[in-house]
Amino acid sequence: SNALRLISWDSTTADNTIQLTLTWQAQQQLLRPYWFSALLVDPDGNPAGEAIVWQPVDTTYPTTCWQPNATISDQVSLPLSDDAIQGDYWVSLSIIPDVDQPDTRLPVTLADGQQDQQIGLGPTTYHTQSN
């Protein structure tokens, strides 16, 4: 919808958690508070738990407050199960315009110009910690 642009992302792993950092830019003044959804996908291609749905900056800076062209950094913790397997994890990231209709997603234009309803971020490599 040309409303938001993901400028960059980064991830780290620690204590059975993937910490995802997203840097956004509002392309225009946003008239509604969007929600974000991140679903971890394990090295075997299976969902690693339920999707995490959140509003930016722990709900303290909704997208309606974002000024055009300003950059906003947001972090979200994606928990891994105690029996998470080692390897490369991916994140399926999407934007939800109405939290009461979580299956509705904003359209996404990928870097190659293709359209989708999510952005695949990864890989993030997870290694279990030995005692």
Tell me: the pLDDT tens digits for 3-45? 899 999 999 998 899 999 999 999 999 998 999 999 999 999 9
Q: How many CA atoms lie within 13 A of 39 on its CB side?
A: 15
Mean pLDDT computed over 62-71: 94
- What's the one-letter identity of residue 97? P
Tell me: the pLDDT tens digits for 50-62? 999 999 998 899 9
**Tokens in use for 22?**
């997203």
User: pLDDT at position 128, please?
Assistant: 79
pTM of the model: 0.91
- Report the C-alpha gap between 41 and 48 in whole angstroms: 5
Tell me: the pLDDT tens digits for 89-112? 999 999 999 888 888 999 999 989
Please determine, for residue 125, whether its predicted confidence score (pLDDT) is greater than 80. yes
